[in-house]
Amino acid sequence: NAGVTQTPKFRVLKTGQSMTLLCAQDMNHEYMYWYRQDPGMGLRLIHYSVGEGTTAKGEVPDGYNVSRLKKQNFLLGLESAAPSQTSVYFCASSYSLSGGLTDTQYFGPGTRLTVL
Amino acid sequence: TQLLEQSPQFLSIQEGENLTVYCNSSSVFSSLQWYRQEPGEGPVLLVTVVTGGEVKKLKRLTFQFGDARKDSSLHITAAQTGDTGLYLCAGRGPSGTYKYIFGTGTRLKVLA
């Protein structure tokens, strides 16, 4: 099993360009998450999904869109990139046990995005 | 908005020393997790605590969930260089929610 994979690993964009980050998991997990990590701020939730075809907003959703057309994939889109979106992006997946209280989130290796 | 503050933000100690990292909030969490993250990788789960006052041990690491489920601590005994990394706590909201709030992180460096 590959676990959680993210594509691409690195990307440099110019302001105003668009791109899509792909997250794939092979563990048949229901829940998937997109986070961004910035120095001194831990991880902040952008969007998440509790199942195929459903998405919801997290703490910092502005400027991002997501789609979950297939259970194993969760896409994060930037329609018009801004320098403030320079960050490391992590995808995670989990499945629900015991009412979700003890879920383990499995993280991908991250995508380092720079917006000039 | 739920916030999780971790302290200290940075910690540099000698191998063999003990240390404690704190994770504090004014909000109640249904469960709390601790992760460790190595450079260039995603976080990896260390432990989940659910019950107020719960203590869990993982070899030299001891985790405690506060009685009111608003805070947690991670204590490392006789730190080793392999403990170096970024430690993150993450709190889960009321039962039925799927969102986790991550703490600000504690960067630990253990010197040989």
What are the pLDDT digits (tens) for A78-116?
999 999 999 999 999 998 765 566 678 999 999 999 999
Q: Of the candidates A43, A101, A105, which has its C-beta nearest B50's C-beta?
A: A101
Q: Looking at CA atoms only, how far is residue A42 from chain B in angstroms?
A: 4
How far apart CA A5 and CA A93 sit, in angstroms, is 10
Q: What pLDDT is stored for residue B94 in this prediction?
A: 72
Q: How many CB pairs under 8 A join A and B?
A: 68
Q: What pLDDT is stored for residue A3 in this prediction?
A: 93
> A34, A76 in Cβ contact below 8 A?
yes
Of A39, A40, A59, nearest to A48 by C-alpha is A59
Which parts of chain B register pLDDT below 50? Answer: none
In B, minimum Cα distance to A9 occurs at: B40
How far apart CA A5 and CA A16 sit, in angstroms, is 26
Q: Is residue B57 left, alpha or beta, with left meaning phi > 0 and alpha meaning psi from -120 to 50? A: beta
Q: What pLDDT is stored for residue A39 in this prediction?
A: 83
Q: What pLDDT is stored for residue B96 in this prediction?
A: 65
Q: Which of chain A's residues have a Cβ under 8 Å away from the Cβ of B101? A: 45, 59
Average pLDDT over residues A56-64: 94
Q: Of the candidates A48, A102, A107, which has its C-beta nearest B98's C-beta?
A: A48
